[in-house]
Amino acid sequence: MIEFSNVTFKYNVTLSDGEKEDIYGIRDLNFSIGKGEFVVLTGGSGCGKTIFIRLINGLIPHFYSGELFGEITLNGKSIRDMSIFEISSKVGSVFQNPRSQFFNVNTTDEMAFAAENQRRDPEEIKKRIKDTAVSMKIEKLLDRNIFELSGGEKQLVACAGIGVLSPEIIVLDEPSSNLDHHAINRLSEILSVWKSEGKTIIIAEHRLFYLRNLADRMIVMENGSVSNEFKCEDLKRLSHEDTVKLGIRTLSLDSVSYDCKPGIGRSSNLIFRDFKFTYKNNRHSIDIPKLDVPEGCVTAIIGHNGAGKSTFARNICGLEKRCKGYIEYLDKRLGYKDRLHNCYMIMQDVNHQLFTESVEDEVMLSMTGGDMSEDDKRERVREILDKLDLSKYYETHPMALSGGQKQRVAIASGIASEKPIIVFDEPTSGLDLFHMEQVADAIKDLIRIGKNVFVITHDYEFILKCCDHIIHLENGRVKDSFNLDDGSICKIKEFMCEMSEVS
Amino acid sequence: MEIGLQSAQSRDIFHLDPRTKLAILITVGIIMMSGKYTGVEYVLRLICVAVPFVLLISIRLFRSAFIYVLLMYSTVLCEGFIIPNTKGMVNLMIMIICGVISRFGPGYLCGWYVVKSTSVSEFITAMERMHFPNIITIPMSVMFRYFPTLKEDYSSIHDAMKMREIGKKIKNPFTYIEYILVPIMMSTVRIANDLSAASLSKGLGVNRTRTHICKIGLGFIDYVLIISMVVMLVTFYVF
């Protein structure tokens, strides 16, 4: 059905120092995918899996520029000879970022959009929207404003749009990177329905655990070519150790190991009092009368979408004036204004918090030591940057860096600001194994220099890598708060694994 | 306040065709901006003042509708009683404020109603019916779609600046504006790129017509309204 013969794709990038370089996105690839197959593509960032996806949905060569050699055919017809419109009737796509894949603001209109473009009969489209909504159990999401939905709900709407169009081939590019475990479950249910309908499905993904029972084949890519290929049976036999060796995320959350690290944290506690906050629309509110968190450790904040995790994080940082709560920390009482001085958040989209023209200036901007001389400051900045593996980029514009590097620049600013509490909002969404471990290491270093770290996360592997304490939120209240050790690990497992591995 | 083209038609009391909305917007705009306070024109102005109220009620924005009515009444009362009885600076101030509210208010609210009550796909459909080329319609609809995204971006950039206490450190207003604009532009470029890719892969193209699930068509109310708008405009210019 889909044939790649001797495909090479080369494109031009501007490096951070302004020079241009040719990069091979795909190198001499021969590959074929049969009708009804479910293929999982994985591998580190930049391994070429996104390009693979774009070659199938025609965005390469029709939208993204670069040099394409070799031949790709859909049902025997070369994608070069097909217009993107023709391809779009056969291939449906779900993209990584739920924020930027919708043309319409109204959900029903969006579900109809692709089918309308194909000039399908309006009555039939309406009927299909109804049927799809019923079969995906998303009647509640019909006729809503897209900006009111969570990331998970947006991805469901994107899938519903494909359900309405019902193409033969469906490609998905990291659809789960912004989703919690509940939403991933829904996604995997939808995928299994599509599979049973005989659709050909190609999915590029880092988080693999939800695909273990669905995949017919898994391709591990490296530098634009296939480095490993696993059939359905072999795939299920891969242990956690095997996947670590391959450099990919685990296939089974159950098998992730945890090495207990006793003795972390200090005896004193951070005490949260009266954290009550409600938004005007009454959603995502929190109500936390009292909460003790051991000082000097990494605290993970877990819970479903809408449980109030982000609200809690915003309140920790003092971003909501109306919150009357305070933190008792080292015999001080931190109200919202003090928390603005004492807390620093690494946002999910770090692009929103980088302002200056060079990495060095960026970190300088956060330096507080008023009595230090300019040179001392500069020296301190370089020291921080060196530790975070950014010594090559002092003069680089922050926006020219890769996602992970930007994140580390933001961390560097946090360290430079000397604030004792650092909050991360989903730092590992969309990260491969290597980068996830890198973030985990950076966070452990923060603890070593005496910071308190809070992390909102849905990433089980990441929690086991670096977290010491867990706060489980549900409906804005603390459902559970415990130290992570061999005994309590089952509680998180219960929350995260069992939900996702039912399929 | 939400911005951007959106709709939840099912909850509306009555729903107008985008073309009718356009006719209303133009008529109310012209009459309110240039009408005099005497004779027939005064009667036309009174009618126009009532239009946004009805429109806002029709999309269940009761609070805004009543605030609007209160504001307009107090303006009219000011114009009738306070302006003739004051002198000098105070008189001038009140006159300017009242003038601005009564001349721009109804037109502005009609515009707000159009944006609030029209969905992206209705907008595209109506533009197609009026034979506007897609090359104008599609970028315009993407623009409307972009406003709420811009709002989200702006608020998180604002948070980041607050957290880094940039307002205190940077005194130069131009640098401050630059710090807001650079991240916004970067994210605009990225989102615009992703959005184009997504729309293309869903088969949107400039040279093709599409089908529509949204019902667009001139109903009884639409004809009545359009005819009365035309009558009003004609009266306005003849007398």
Instruction: Report the b/e string of B116-128 with b at 16+ CB within 10 A.
Output: bbbbbbbbbbbbb
In this complex, is the C-beta atom of A225 within 8 Å of any C-beta atom belonging to chain B? no
Q: How much is the pLDDT for A370?
A: 65
* Dihedral sign computed on CA atoms, order B156, A388, A401, A43: negative
Chain center to CA of A233: 28
Give the residue from A56, A117, A146 with the most B CB atoms within 10 Å of its CB, the best one to mutate: A117
Stretch A402-431: mean pLDDT, rounded? Answer: 88
3-state helix, strand, coil in chain B (%, to 5): 80, 0, 20
Cβ atoms of A384 and A412 closer than 8 Å: yes
Pairing of strands A67-74, A2-14: antiparallel
Quickly count: other Cβ atoms within 10 Å of residue B190's Cβ.
15
Pick from A374-383, A489-498, B133-142, B181-190: least confident: A489-498
A377-398: pLDDT as tens digits: 888 888 888 888 888 888 888 8
* Dihedral sign computed on CA atoms, order A153, A155, A159, A165: positive
Nearest chain B residue to A336 by CA distance is B163
Look at B198 and A103 and tell me if their CB atoms are within 8 Å. yes
Which of A100, A118, A341 comes nearest B203 by C-beta? A118
Min distance A346 CA to chain B CA atoms (Å): 9
CA A43 – CA A174 distance, rounded (Å):
12
φ, ψ dihedrals at A203, nearest 5°: -130, 125
In this complex, is the C-beta atom of A80 within 8 Å of any C-beta atom belonging to chain B? no
- The rounded mean pLDDT for chain B is 84
Q: How much is the pLDDT for B10?
A: 57
How far, CA to CA in Å, does B85 sit from each of A283, B37, B88? 51, 18, 11
Stretch A153-174: mean pLDDT, rounded? Answer: 94
B209-233: pLDDT as tens digits: 788 888 778 888 899 999 999 999 9
- The rounded mean pLDDT for chain A is 88
- Percentage of chain A surpassing pLDDT 90? 37
A238: CB partners within 8 A, 6+ apart:
A230, A246, A251
Is residue A502 pLDDT above 50, yes or no?
Answer: no
Highest mean pLDDT among A226-235, A369-378, B11-20: A226-235
Strand partners, A292: A271
Which position has the higher pLDDT, A239 or A215?
A: A215
Residue A408 has which token pair?
């580390």
Cβ atoms of A94 and A178 closer than 8 Å: no
A11: CB partners within 8 A, 6+ apart:
A22, A23, A25, A64, A65, A66, A67
- Percentage of chain A surpassing pLDDT 70? 95
Cβ pairs A/B, distance under 8 A: 176
In this complex, is the C-beta atom of B206 within 8 Å of any C-beta atom belonging to chain A? no
Kindly report whether the peptide bond that precedes residue B18 is cis, defined as omega within 30 degrees of 0. Answer: no
CA proximity to B214, closest of A350, A116, A427: A116
Quickly count: other Cβ atoms within 10 Å of residue A321's Cβ.
9
Is residue A430 pLDDT above 50, yes or no?
Answer: yes
Cβ atoms of A230 and A50 closer than 8 Å: no
In this complex, is the C-beta atom of A120 within 8 Å of any C-beta atom belonging to chain B? yes
Strand partners, A276: A287
Nearest chain A residue to B153 by CA distance is A352
In this complex, is the C-beta atom of A281 within 8 Å of any C-beta atom belonging to chain B? no
CA A454 – CA A306 distance, rounded (Å):
18
Stretch A38-61: mean pLDDT, rounded? Answer: 91
CA proximity to B141, closest of A306, A180, A445, A102: A102
Strand partners, A275: A288
Which of B157, B169, B203 comes nearest A352 by C-beta? B157
DSSP letters spanning A410-433 = HHHHHHHTT-SEEEEESTTTT--H
B20-68: pLDDT as tens digits: 998 999 999 988 888 677 778 888 888 888 899 999 998 888 898 999 9
Is residue A46 pLDDT above 60, yes or no?
Answer: yes
A181-205: pLDDT as tens digits: 888 989 999 999 999 999 999 999 9
Task: Give residues 137 to 156 of B whose Cβ lies within 8 Å of A.
Answer: 141-142, 144-145, 148-149, 152-153, 156
Residues of B within 8 A of A115 (CB-CB) are 211
Residue B61 has which token pair?
């924005």
What confidence category does residue A113 fall into, taking pLDDT thresholds of 50, 70 and 90? very high
pTM of the entire predicted model? 0.86
Residue B168 has which token pair?
């205190």
Nearest chain B residue to A64 by CA distance is B197
Helix (H, G, I), strand (E, B) or coil at B199: helix
Q: How much is the pLDDT for A503?
A: 38
Task: Give residues 104 to 133 of B whose Cβ lies within 8 Å of A.
Answer: 119-121
A231-282: pLDDT as tens digits: 988 988 888 888 988 989 988 887 887 766 655 556 678 899 889 888 877 7
What confidence category does residue B9 fall into, taking pLDDT thresholds of 50, 70 and 90? low
Residues of A within 8 A of B200 (CB-CB) are 59, 62-63, 84, 88
Quickly count: other Cβ atoms within 10 Å of residue B212's Cβ.
19
DSSP one-letter code for A475: T
What is the ipTM for the molecules in this complex? 0.86
